[in-house]
Structure 1
């Protein structure tokens, strides 16, 4: 790699690390090209990205970012998964690791918080940002629905009482 290409790679990685909410580091030794493509596709669908870079260049690019703590994990053939949503990359990485034994999660960083393997798995078990938004909207809408049901209930009860008296009158 030429010096200019290395400099450009460092700048590109630095931009990625500054924009990310979470970064996950994993070993990928032994994965086939098809498996790596599958991982990239799953990450892309979840709104995350996967980067394979020289560890030395990645360590330089980490300087001055919130996720600088992952520098110590960059040893051997590593892949870095990043996403703005703090749950997207860990969720895909953990699911992918379940089906591919060669993909070993080493740890990661969520902002300045360092995550070990168990921390990444705990983060993956949380609901995504979209799921949380859906639950929040459901909670906001629920009181309005209950209020509408309560205001309609007396009229419905009155109609049933009148219907019952009318039925008694016809039967007699």
Structure 2
């Protein structure tokens, strides 16, 4: 790979890292070519992009971004690295990794690190937690539901009170007549 090719790839990676709010770095060493292709196909079906990239190129692309990705240098950017890019669903790559390992009874790919909205999660131990993350739209829906429930209770109380008040006024008017 020539210097110009590397520069083009680094620029492409910078764009991918900045356009995708979520990325995962995995270790797929020990998987055969067929297994990697199978994993890549499952990624494609889920709308996740999987690429095997040299650690030095990943490092250079991350250095140019806003945010501190230096903790990845000592742990995640060693050995064989594949990067999963996800634009919308932060937990899709984590689910893919876990499902692939379960279905094929493999120990790989292993999660080296993940970046979710520039928050770093380093290590395989975070995989289950990343799967349980709620998407932005799910969280917004929950907040809206929580905000609506007190308003509904107040409106319901006012409406039921309105009927009671009308009944009391009607009873009083009947007594006076």
* TM superposition score normalised by structure 1: 0.70
Partners of 1:156 and 1:55 in 2: CA distance: 71
Unpaired stretches in structure 1, ≥5 consecutive residues: 162-172
Match of 1:71 in 2: 73
- Comparing 142-151 with 62-71, which one deviates more in the overlay? 62-71
> Secondary structure of the residue that 1:13 maps to in structure 2?
helix
Displacement of 1:19 after TM fit? Answer: 4.1
In the other structure, the counterpart of 1:37 is: 41
Root mean square deviation of aligned Cα: 3.1
Q: Which digits, 9 at most, give the CA deviation of each residue in 1:150-169, with x for residues without a partner?
A: 122235568999xxxxxxxx
Residue 50 of structure 1 is matched in structure 2 by 50
Name the SS of the counterpart of 2:64 in structure 1. Answer: coil
- Give CA-to-partner distance per residue, 1:1-53, whole Å, 9 cap, x none: 333222111111122224444432112333242331112332x2xxx543322
Unaligned segments of structure 2, at least 5 residues: 169-177
| Within-5 A mapping of 1:17-32 | 17-28=17-28, 29-30=31-32, 31-32=35-36
Secondary structure of 1:24's aligned partner: strand
1:59 maps to 59
The question of 1:141 aligning with 2:144 is answered no
Q: Distance in 2 between matches of 1:86 and 1:32?
A: 22
Deviates more, 1:82-91 or 1:99-108: 82-91
- C-alpha displacement at 1:148, in angstroms? 2.1
For the pair 1:116 / 2:123, whether they are aligned, the reply is yes
Partner of 2:4: 4
Correspondence for 2:90? 87
Contact 1:94 1:124 in 2 (8 A): no
Residue equivalent to 1:169? none
